Chain A
Amino acid sequence: MYARALKPLALLTAAAVALTFGLIFFWAPLDADQGFIQKIFYLHVPMAIVALLGFLAAGIMAAMHLRTRDRRWDMRSYVAVHLSIILAVGVLVTGSIWAKASWGHWWVWSEPVLVSFLITFLLYAVYQPLRFSIDDPDRQGRSASVFAIAGAAFTVLNFVAVRMAEAYTHPRVFSQTGGNMPPRMFVTFLVALVAMALVFATLWTLELGSKTASERLRRARRIRDREAERTELVGARATVERPPTAAGATVPTATPTAAPR
Chain B
Amino acid sequence: MTAASESASAPSESATVPPGAAALRPGVGTVRAALAILRKDLRIELRARETVPAMALFSVTAFVLFHFGLDRDRLEGDVAAGVLWVTVLLATVLGVNRLFDAEREQGGLEAMLLAPIDRTAIFVAKAGALFAYLVVLEVVAVAAFGLFLLGSDLAGALPGLAALLAMADLGLAAVGALVGALAAETRAREVLGPLLLLPLVVPLAIAGAQGTEPLLTPAGSPADLGRWLGLMALYASVFMLLSVAVFDFLLED
Residues of A within 8 A of B (CB): 66, 119-120, 122-123, 125-126, 129-130, 133-135, 139, 142-143, 145-147, 149-150, 153-154, 157-158, 160-162, 164-165, 168
Stretch of B41-49, B64-72, B101-109, B179-187 that contacts chain A: B179-187
**Whole-angstrom CA separation of A157 from B206 in the bound complex:** 12
- Report B-chain residues with C-beta under 8 Å of the C-beta of A157: 203, 234-235, 238
Distance in Å: Cβ of A62 to nearest Cβ of chain B: 9
Residues A123 and B239 in contact, CB atoms below 8 Å apart: no
B246 to chain A, nearest CB (A): 5
B227 touches A164 (CB 8 A): yes
Report chain B residues within 8 Å CB of A133. 186-188, 192
Contacts of B231 in A (CB 8 A): 160-161, 164
Q: Is B13 an interface residue (CB 8 A)?
A: no
Q: Kindly state whether residue B27 has any CB partner on chain A within 8 Å.
A: no
Q: Give A147 to B181 CA distance when docked, in angstroms.
A: 11
| Interchain Cβ contacts under 8 Å between A and B, 15 examples | A119-B199, A122-B198, A129-B195, A133-B186, A134-B185, A146-B249, A147-B196, A153-B239, A158-B202, A160-B231, A161-B202, A161-B203, A161-B207, A161-B231, A168-B210
Say yes or no: is B113 at the interface (Cβ < 8 Å to chain A): no
B206 close to A164 (CB less than 8 A): yes
Contact A122-B199, Cβ < 8 Å, known A66-B249, A161-B231, A168-B210 = yes
Bound Cα distance from A161 to B235, whole angstroms: 9
Interface of A is mostly: helix
Closest 8 CB pairs of A and B: A161-B203, A123-B199, A133-B186, A133-B187, A122-B199, A165-B206, A146-B246, A142-B249
**Bound complex: CA of A198 vs CA of B251, how far in Å?**
38
**Size class of the B contact interface (CB-based, 8 Å):** 20 to 34
Closest to B192 in A: A130
A125–B191 CA distance with the chains assembled, in angstroms: 13
Q: How far is the CA of A160 from the CA of B195 in the complex (A)?
A: 22
- Closest A residue to B246 by beta carbon equals A146
Instruction: Give the nearest-CB partner of B251 in chain A.
Output: A142
**Contacts A143-B185, A146-B249, A160-B231; is A129 near B192 (CB within 8 Å)?**
yes
B117 at the A interface (CB under 8 A): no
Given contacts A157-B235, A161-B203, contact A130 B210 (CB under 8 A): no
Specify which chain B residues have a CB less than 8 angstroms from the CB of A145 in the assembled complex: 246, 249
Contacts of B210 in A (CB 8 A): 165, 168
Nearest B residue (CB) for A138 = B252
User: Which among B187, B202, B203, B239 has the greatest number of chain A C-beta atoms within 10 A?
Assistant: B202
The answer to whether A146 and B250 touch across the interface, beta carbons within 8 angstroms, is: yes
What residues on B are CB-neighbors of A123 within 8 Å?
196, 199-200
Cα A160 to Cα B210 in complex, Å, equals 14
Q: Is the CB of B28 closer than 8 A to any CB of chain A? A: no
Shortest Cβ distance from residue A257 to the other chain B in the assembled complex, whole angstroms: 14
Instruction: Bits for B188-229, please: 1 = Cβ < 8 Å to A, else 0.
Output: 100110011011101100110010000000000000100100
B residues within 8 A CB of A126? Answer: 192, 195-196, 199
Nearest-neighbour CB distance to chain B for A161, whole angstroms, equals 4
Q: Does B242 contact A (CB under 8 A)?
A: yes
C-alpha gap A255/B64 in the complex (Å) = 50
Complexed CA–CA distance, A77 and B192 (Å): 20
Q: Are A162 and B206 in contact (CB under 8 A)?
A: yes
Closest to B194 in A: A126
| Contact indicator A139/B242 (Cβ below 8 Å) | no
Say which residue of A66, A120, A125 sits within 8 Å of B246 (CB atoms): A66
Q: B178 an interface residue at 8 Å Cβ cutoff?
A: yes
Q: How far apart sit A2 and B198, CA to CA, in the bound complex (Å)?
A: 37
- Using Cβ atoms and an 8 Å threshold, which residues of chain B touch A150? 178, 200, 239, 242, 246
* B206 and A146 contacting across the interface, CB-CB below 8 Å: no
For A139, give its contact among B183, B185, B198, B227 (CB under 8 Å): B185
* B244 smallest CB distance to A (angstroms): 12
List residues of chain B with CB within 8 A of the CB of A164: 206-207, 227, 231
